[in-house]
Amino acid sequence: MKAIQITMDERLLEELDSTDEARQAGRSAVIRRATSEYLERLRRSRVAERYRCAYGDGEGLGQEYEGWEDQGRWPRE
């Protein structure tokens, strides 16, 4: 691991220090976990955005494929 230096609002730091997790595992562990959770949420958000871009917003396939919307469906019996 690499040691870093960060600036944090004193009130926020006091609140962090008052938690059981920070007292037991230490500030660094809590900040590492929070950063990891943040990055995971960001990754999931980016993946979801890519899906929205790839599969559209439900407005059809666009002018290029107009009239072909039903071609990818199973026929009704």
- CB neighbours of residue 28 within 10 Å: 12
DSSP per-residue codes, 6-55: ----HHHHHHHHTSHHHHHH-HHHHHHHHHHHHHHHHHHHHHHHHHHHHH
Give pLDDT, residue 65: 72
Predicted structure pTM score:
0.65
In a domain, 25, yes or no: yes
Q: Tens digit of pLDDT per residue, the chain (77 long)?
A: 999 999 999 999 999 999 999 999 999 999 999 999 999 999 999 998 888 777 766 665 667 777 776 666 677 76
Q: What whole-number distance in Å separates Cα of residue 26 and Cα of residue 20?
A: 9
**∠ at Cα 21 (20, 26), nearest 5°?**
115
Q: Structural domain of residue 50, as residue ranges?
A: 10-54
Structural domain count of the chain:
1
Contact 8, 17 (CB under 8 A): no
Give pLDDT, residue 29: 97
In a domain, 39, yes or no: yes
